[in-house]
Amino acid sequence: MKYIKRLLNRIRGEQDLNKLIERGLKLGNNLTRMSGCIIDPSHCWHIEIGDNVVMAPRAHILAHDASTGLFNGYTKIANVKIGNNVFIGAGAIVLMGVTVGDNVIIGAGSIVIKDIPDNSVAAGNPAKVICSLDDYLKKEALEMTEENTFDEEFTLRNKNFNTEHASKMIEACRKYRKAYVK
């Protein structure tokens, strides 16, 4: 089973996490990696990832910078630490030398060049703290109503998901600008 999983990953062009761990990646429990993510394969022993980390599609964590290599023959390297309970948004890039704290959200498309403190939401290029995680979650909680919040029945995990489910969600997004789904 493990072998099949590794083979499928390889066919899909996804990195083999076990190989990275063998090379020295320090990985906590419960990493969720969506498609196209990159954890610097050639310098992964410089990378530490905590528990409960989500990497949205095409998120990158890099521990090297070969920009010098062309000119002086040396690649720069630095340690990178991602804390516990961190969401790294789609297409975001965490560069070498950065520490991302615990309980952090990194916005989609962000370039993280400096440390991000615990309990914060950071976004942009270069990524800066835009608010505390607490404030962000409070803001979202205020926007959740019975009409715009959907449970698992409204996901593809429900084998009977159909166009009626989809229509209800589209309607809720029209009315409330956005909706929430489990």
Ligand X SMILES: CC(C)(COP(=O)(O)OP(=O)(O)OC[C@H]1O[C@@H](n2cnc3c(N)ncnc32)[C@H](O)[C@@H]1OP(=O)(O)O)[C@@H](O)C(=O)NCCC(=O)NCCS
Report which residue type is found at 147: E
> Which residue in 124, 129, 161, 176 binds ligand X (CB under 6 A)?
124
> How near is the Cβ of 123 to ligand X at its closest, in Å?
4
Determine if 98 is a binding residue for ligand X (CB under 6 A).
no
- Looking at the Cβ atoms of 17 and 108, the one nearer to ligand X is 108
- Give the SS3 label for residue 65: strand
64 is catalytic: yes
Does position 28 interact with ligand X (CB under 6 A)? The reply is no
Residues 47-86 that bind ligand X (CB under 6 A): 56
DSSP code, position 142: H
The candidate with the shortest Cα–Cα distance to 101, out of 120, 88, 78, is: 120
User: Is the CB of residue 149 less than 8 Å from the CB of residue 138?
Assistant: no
Task: Give the residue with the Cβ less far from ligand X, 18 or 124.
Answer: 124
Residue 93 found at the interface with ligand X (CB under 6 A): no
Nearest-5° angle of CA 182, CA 128, CA 26?
65
| Contact between 111 and ligand X per CB under 6 A | no
One of 78, 108, 113, 129 touching ligand X (CB under 6 A): 108
> What Rg, from alpha-carbon coordinates, does the chain have?
19
Query: In angstroms, rounded to a whole number, what is the distance separating the alpha carbons of residues 69 and 76?
Result: 8
Q: State which of residues 109, 117, 119, 149 lies at the interface with ligand X (CB under 6 A).
A: 109
Does position 121 bind ligand X by CB under 6 A? yes
CB 63 within 8 A of CB 77: yes
Residue 89 CB, shortest distance to ligand X, in Å, is 3
CB 113 within 8 A of CB 120: no
- Which residues carry out catalysis? 64
Residues of this chain that interact with ligand X (CB under 6 A) are: 56, 89-90, 105, 107-110, 121, 123-124, 130, 136
